[in-house]
Amino acid sequence: MTTRQSDRRNILGLGAAGLAAAATLDVRKAAAASAPESLLRKVLNRGHLIVGTGSANAPWHFEDANNKLTGMDVAMGKILAKALFGDEKKVKFVLESAAARIPNITTGKVDIVIHFMTISAQRAQLVAFSRPYYIEAVALLTRADAKAKSFDQLAALGAKAKVSILQNVGATQMVHEVLPKAEVMQIDTQANVIQALESHRADAAAVDLSNVRWLVKQAPNRYADAGKAWVKQLYGAAVRQGDPDWLLFVNTVFDVAMFSSLDGHHIYDSAFLEFFGEKTPPLKAGFPSI
């Protein structure tokens, strides 16, 4: 048995009681255990993580009242930094446009992109995706003071219901999947989609579920969640292809943060509550549910 195999079996045999001790393993030893060409080794040796993200799309990435970058994507970057170095502050965020997400990965400008990126087969030909950390969907935002603010009430309006949505091919068909008789108002910008709701020109605004939850949390006396979500899609982080050690590490860290009570879960749970107004489901011991 090689020394590395022996060390690995010893670590695996620690069980839950020994995880805290295992977490203190020398970072240099962890780096040496990865493939020489792996980004995992490079990041550990560098001493900080470089994450590509945005800055103008709450609740995913935006600047707070103190001009500090925050959001769910930022929290996921901090989770990775804490797993790498034991310090969530050891991360540098590179602000990028949505169009720069894939180029920044393929050129090596960033170690990972965490930028509310939808996982698709087409994109997976260019980058490698992590496990999903959020399931996005189209949802209906209504006014808190409206007579028809739930989905059932909107459906009862029939042809009298008016729904605003961002102008796009297939937008009308998307709304008619759930409200087949509603009048669909295709509007030029997301801000104007919501403005149509606020000005009572629309009974509901079809926007991302994350936006609905964020707005309702920020202004519960102003907005309401109609309780309908459809056209679901997955958000994941993107890394460069051909580096299984780095991708496996990212996936492992995300799994631990989302589905255990170990390092990272406090950041994930707190961020989910802060940005979506929801508590994560309680963990159930026993058969794994990942």
Q: Give the start-to-end residue ranges of the domains of the chain.
A: 24-127+240-276, 136-233
Reported as a single tens digit per residue, the pLDDT across 170-213 is 999 999 999 999 999 999 999 999 999 999 999 999 999 999 99
Average pLDDT over residues 28-37: 62
* Structural domain 136-233, CATH architecture: 3-Layer(aba) Sandwich (3.40)
CATH topology of domain 24-127+240-276: D-Maltodextrin-Binding Protein; domain 2 (3.40.190)
Q: CA–CA separation, 271 vs 280, rounded Å? A: 10
Same fold, 24-127+240-276 and 136-233: yes
Condensed to tens digits (0 to 9), the pLDDT of residues 77-132 reads 999 999 999 999 999 999 999 999 999 999 999 999 999 999 999 999 999 999 99
Q: Return the pLDDT at 242.
A: 96
